[in-house]
Structure 1
Amino acid sequence: MACQSAPVIMDEQALLGLNPNADACYRQRALAYFEQLKESQDAWEMCAEALAKGFYSDDHVKFFCFQVLEHQIKYRHGGLTAAQQQLIRETLMKWLQTQLMNVHQEKPFIRNKAAQVFALTFVREYLTHWPKFFFDILTLIGLNPHGVDIYLRTLMAIDAEVVDRDIMHSVEDTRRNTLIKDTMREQCIPSLVESWFQILQAYQQSHSELTCQCLEVVGAYVSWIDLNLIANDRFVNLLLSQMSVEDLREEACDCLFEIVNKGMDPVDKTKLVELLCQVLQSAGFFNVEREEDVDFLAKFSRLVNGMGQSLVLSWTKLHKAGNVKVATETLRALEAKVPLMLQLLVHEDDDISANIVGFCYEYLHVLKQLPLLTDQQKANVEAIMLAVMKKLTYDDEYNFENEGEDEAMFVEYRKQLKMLLDRLAQVSPELLLEAVRRVFNNTLQSWQTAPFMEVEVAIRLLYMLGEALPASHGAHFTGDATKASTLQEMMRTLVNSGVSEYQHSSVTLEFFETVVRYDKFFIVEPQHIPNVLMAFLDHRGLRHSSPKVRSRVAYLFSRFVKTLHKHMNAFIEDILSRIQDLLELAPPENGFPALLTSDDQLFIFETAGVLIVYGESPAERKQALMRSLLTPLMDGFRLLLANLPQEADEERQLVLADCLSHAVGFASRTSKAFSNKQTVKQCGCSEVYRDCLQCFLPALSCPVQRGALRGAVRSFLHRMIICLEEEVLPFIPSASEHMLKDCEPKDLQEFIPLISQITAKFKGQVSPFLQQVFMPLVLAIFEVLGRPAEENDQTAALDKQMLRRSYFSFIQTVTGSGMNEVMANQGAENVERVLFTIIQGAVDFPDPIAQKTCFIILTKLVELWGGKDGLVGFTDFIYKHIVPACFLAPLKPTFDLSDAQTVLTLSECTLTLKMIHLKRGPEFIQFLQQEYLPSLQVSPDITQELCQVLQQPDVKVLKNYMKAFFQRAKL
Structure 2
Amino acid sequence: MDEQALLGLNPNADARYRQRAMAYFEQLKESQDAWEVCAEALAKGIYNDDHVKFFCFQVLEHQIKFRHAGLSAVQQQLIRETLMKWLQCQLMNAQPEKPFIRNKAAQVFALTFIMEYLTLWPKFFFDILSLVGLNPHGVDVYLRTLMAIDAEVVDRDILHTPEETRRNTLIKDTMREQCIPSLVESWFQILQTYQQSHPELTCQCLEVVGAYVSWIDLNLIANDRFVNLLLSQMSVEELREEACDCLFEIVNKGMDPVDKTKLVESLCQVLQSAGFFNEEDVDFLAKFSRLVNGMGQSLVLSWTKLAKAGNVKDAAETLQAVEAKVPLLLQLLVHEDDDISANIVGFCYEYLHVLKQVNRKQRNAIMLAVMKKLTYDDEYNFENEGEDEAMFVEYRKQLKMLLDRLAQVSPELLLEAVRRVFTNTMQTWQTAPFMEVEVAIRLLYMLGEALPASHGAHFSGDTAKTSALQDMMRTLVSCGVSSYQHTSVSLEFFETVVRYDKFFIVEPQHIPNVLMAFLDQRGLRHNSPKVRSRVAYLFSRFIKTLHKHMNAFIEDILTRIQDLLELAPPENGFLALLTSDDQLFMFEAAGVLIVNGESPVERKQALMRSLLTPLMDAFQRPSRGSSFMRINKQTVKQCGCTEVYRDCLQTFLPALSCPVQRGVLRSSVRSFLHRMIICLEEEVLPFIPAASEHMLKDCEAKDLQEFIPLISQITAKFKRQVSPFLQQIFMPLVLAIFEVLARPAEDNDQAAALEKQMLRRSYFSFIQTIAGSGMNEVMANQGAENIERVVFTIIQGAVDFPDPIAQKTCFIILSRLVELWGGKDGMVGFPDFIYKHIVPACFLAPLKPTFDLSDAQTVLTLSECAVTLKMIHLKRGPEFIQFLQQEYLPSLQVSPEISQELCQVLQQPDVKVLKNYIKVRVCLFYPRYTVGSLLLLLHFSKL
> TM-score with structure 1 length normalisation?
0.82
Aligned pairs for 1:47-58 (under 5 A) are 47-58=38-49
Q: Distance in 2 between matches of 1:788 and 1:246?
A: 62
Work out whether residues 273 and 307 of structure 1, in 8 Å CA contact, stay in contact via their aligned partners in 2: yes
User: Which residue of 2 is the match for residue 673 of structure 1?
Assistant: 634
Tell me which amino acid in the other structure corresponds to 1:64.
Answer: F
User: Which residue of 2 is the match for residue 882 of structure 1?
Assistant: 830
User: Which residue of 2 is the match for residue 211 of structure 1?
Assistant: 202
Q: Distance in 2 between matches of 1:220 and 1:966?
A: 42
Residue 77 (structure 1) aligned with residue 68 (structure 2):
yes
Tell me which amino acid in the other structure corresponds to 2:342.
Answer: A
Tell me which amino acid in the other structure corresponds to 1:164.
Answer: D
The alpha-carbon distance between structure 1 residues 522 and 764, as it changes in their structure 2 partners (threshold 3 A), is: closer
User: Which residue of 1 is the match for residue 287 of structure 2?
Assistant: 299
Work out whether residues 890 and 906 of structure 1, in 8 Å CA contact, stay in contact via their aligned partners in 2: no
Q: Distance in 1 between matches of 2:121 and 2:525?
A: 77
**How far off is 1:331 after superposition?**
1.9
Q: Distance in 1 between matches of 2:758 and 2:308?
A: 59
User: Which residue of 2 is the match for residue 689 of structure 1?
Assistant: 645
**Which among 346, 359, 365 is matched to residue 353 of structure 2?**
365
The structure that has the greater radius of gyration is: 1
**How far off is 1:791 after superposition?**
4.6
User: Which residue of 2 is the match for residue 331 of structure 1?
Assistant: 319
Residue 662 (structure 1) aligned with residue 627 (structure 2):
yes
User: Which residue of 1 is the match for residue 774 of structure 2?
Assistant: 816
Deviates more, 1:950-959 or 1:574-583: 950-959
**Which among 457, 470, 473 is matched to residue 491 of structure 1?**
473
Residue 430 (structure 1) aligned with residue 412 (structure 2):
yes
**Which among 105, 116, 122 is matched to residue 131 of structure 1?**
122
Aligned pairs for 1:764-913 (under 5 A) are 770=724, 774-775=727-728, 778=731, 782=735, 790-792=743-745, 805=764, 808=767, 812=771, 816-817=774-775, 820=777, 831=781, 834-843=783-792, 846-848=796-798, 849=809, 853=813, 856=816, 860=820, 878-879=827-828, 881-890=829-838, 896-898=844-846, 901=861, 904=864, 907=867, 911=871
The alpha-carbon distance between structure 1 residues 967 and 883, as it changes in their structure 2 partners (threshold 3 A), is: farther
Residue 244 (structure 1) aligned with residue 268 (structure 2):
no
Gaps of 5+ in 2: 747-751, 799-808, 852-859, 922-932
Residue 284 (structure 1) aligned with residue 275 (structure 2):
yes
Residue 618 (structure 1) aligned with residue 574 (structure 2):
no
Residue 509 (structure 1) aligned with residue 491 (structure 2):
yes
Work out whether residues 819 and 871 of structure 2, in 8 Å CA contact, stay in contact via their aligned partners in 1: yes
**Which among 564, 574, 583 is matched to residue 546 of structure 2?**
564
Residue 402 (structure 1) aligned with residue 402 (structure 2):
no
User: Which residue of 2 is the match for residue 722 of structure 1?
Assistant: 678
Tell me which amino acid in the other structure corresponds to 1:673.
Answer: Q
The alpha-carbon distance between structure 1 residues 838 and 572, as it changes in their structure 2 partners (threshold 3 A), is: same
**How far off is 1:565 after superposition?**
2.1
Secondary structure of residue in 2 paired with 1:534: helix
Q: Distance in 2 between matches of 1:60 and 1:120?
A: 21
User: Which residue of 2 is the match for residue 44 of structure 1?
Assistant: 35
Work out whether residues 404 and 450 of structure 2, in 8 Å CA contact, stay in contact via their aligned partners in 1: yes
Aligned pairs for 1:97-176 (under 5 A) are 97-176=88-167
Tell me which amino acid in the other structure corresponds to 1:92.
Answer: L
Q: Distance in 1 between matches of 2:66 and 2:237?
A: 44
The alpha-carbon distance between structure 1 residues 172 and 907, as it changes in their structure 2 partners (threshold 3 A), is: closer
**How far off is 1:325 after superposition?**
2.4
Q: Distance in 2 between matches of 1:953 and 1:84?
A: 62
**How far off is 1:687 after superposition?**
2.7
Aligned pairs for 1:548-587 (under 5 A) are 548-586=530-568
**How far off is 1:36 after superposition?**
3.0
User: Which residue of 2 is the match for residue 272 of structure 1?
Assistant: 263
Deviates more, 1:20-29 or 1:502-511: 20-29
Work out whether residues 886 and 909 of structure 1, in 8 Å CA contact, stay in contact via their aligned partners in 2: no
The alpha-carbon distance between structure 1 residues 68 and 835, as it changes in their structure 2 partners (threshold 3 A), is: closer
Aligned pairs for 1:371-390 (under 5 A) are 373=358, 377-390=359-372
Work out whether residues 905 and 914 of structure 2, in 8 Å CA contact, stay in contact via their aligned partners in 1: no
Aligned pairs for 1:462-473 (under 5 A) are 462-471=444-453
Q: Distance in 2 between matches of 1:574 and 1:410?
A: 41
Residue 202 (structure 1) aligned with residue 193 (structure 2):
yes
Render the CA deviation track for 1:346-389: whole Å, top value 9, x for unaligned. Answer: 11111111111111111222331x3xx5xxx3222111111111
Tell me which amino acid in the other structure corresponds to 2:316.
Answer: T
Q: Distance in 2 between matches of 1:352 and 1:160?
A: 28
Q: Distance in 2 between matches of 1:744 and 1:251?
A: 55
Secondary structure of residue in 1 paired with 2:270: helix
User: Which residue of 1 is the match for residue 80 of structure 2?
Assistant: 89
Work out whether residues 301 and 355 of structure 1, in 8 Å CA contact, stay in contact via their aligned partners in 2: yes
Work out whether residues 367 and 403 of structure 2, in 8 Å CA contact, stay in contact via their aligned partners in 1: yes
The alpha-carbon distance between structure 1 residues 108 and 600, as it changes in their structure 2 partners (threshold 3 A), is: same
User: Which residue of 1 is the match for residue 576 of structure 2?
Assistant: 594
The alpha-carbon distance between structure 1 residues 853 and 589, as it changes in their structure 2 partners (threshold 3 A), is: farther
Secondary structure of residue in 2 paired with 1:450: coil
The alpha-carbon distance between structure 1 residues 414 and 127, as it changes in their structure 2 partners (threshold 3 A), is: same
**How far off is 1:421 after superposition?**
0.9
Deviates more, 1:455-464 or 1:758-767: 758-767
Secondary structure of residue in 1 paired with 2:537: helix
Q: Distance in 2 between matches of 1:170 and 1:29?
A: 36
**Which among 410, 413, 417 is matched to residue 395 of structure 2?**
413
**How far off is 1:184 after superposition?**
2.3
Residue 35 (structure 1) aligned with residue 17 (structure 2):
no
The CA RMSD over aligned residues, in Å, is 4.2
Work out whether residues 312 and 334 of structure 1, in 8 Å CA contact, stay in contact via their aligned partners in 2: yes
**How far off is 1:413 after superposition?**
0.6
Gaps of 5+ in 1: 1-9, 645-654, 675-679, 825-830, 868-874
The alpha-carbon distance between structure 1 residues 88 and 341, as it changes in their structure 2 partners (threshold 3 A), is: same
Q: Distance in 2 between matches of 1:151 and 1:951?
A: 62
Q: Distance in 2 between matches of 1:738 and 1:388?
A: 58
Q: Distance in 1 between matches of 2:199 and 2:282?
A: 20
> TM-score with structure 2 length normalisation?
0.85
**How far off is 1:168 after superposition?**
2.1
**How far off is 1:525 after superposition?**
1.9
The alpha-carbon distance between structure 1 residues 590 and 961, as it changes in their structure 2 partners (threshold 3 A), is: same
Residue 319 (structure 1) aligned with residue 307 (structure 2):
yes
Secondary structure of residue in 2 paired with 1:816: coil
Q: Distance in 1 between matches of 2:737 and 2:293?
A: 64
Work out whether residues 438 and 489 of structure 2, in 8 Å CA contact, stay in contact via their aligned partners in 1: yes
Figure out how many residues of one structure are paired with residues of the other and give that number: 892
Q: Distance in 2 between matches of 1:959 and 1:210?
A: 62
Tell me which amino acid in the other structure corresponds to 2:315.
Answer: A
Q: Distance in 1 between matches of 2:379 and 2:449?
A: 29
Work out whether residues 839 and 882 of structure 1, in 8 Å CA contact, stay in contact via their aligned partners in 2: no
Deviates more, 1:145-154 or 1:75-84: 75-84
Work out whether residues 9 and 18 of structure 2, in 8 Å CA contact, stay in contact via their aligned partners in 1: yes
Work out whether residues 494 and 538 of structure 2, in 8 Å CA contact, stay in contact via their aligned partners in 1: yes
The alpha-carbon distance between structure 1 residues 835 and 55, as it changes in their structure 2 partners (threshold 3 A), is: closer
**How far off is 1:392 after superposition?**
0.7
Work out whether residues 623 and 683 of structure 1, in 8 Å CA contact, stay in contact via their aligned partners in 2: yes
Q: Distance in 2 between matches of 1:952 and 1:249?
A: 71
Aligned pairs for 1:922-933 (under 5 A) are none
Tell me which amino acid in the other structure corresponds to 2:774.
Answer: G
**How far off is 1:345 after superposition?**
0.8
Work out whether residues 513 and 556 of structure 1, in 8 Å CA contact, stay in contact via their aligned partners in 2: yes
Q: Distance in 2 between matches of 1:683 and 1:391?
A: 52
The alpha-carbon distance between structure 1 residues 714 and 132, as it changes in their structure 2 partners (threshold 3 A), is: closer
**How far off is 1:411 after superposition?**
0.8
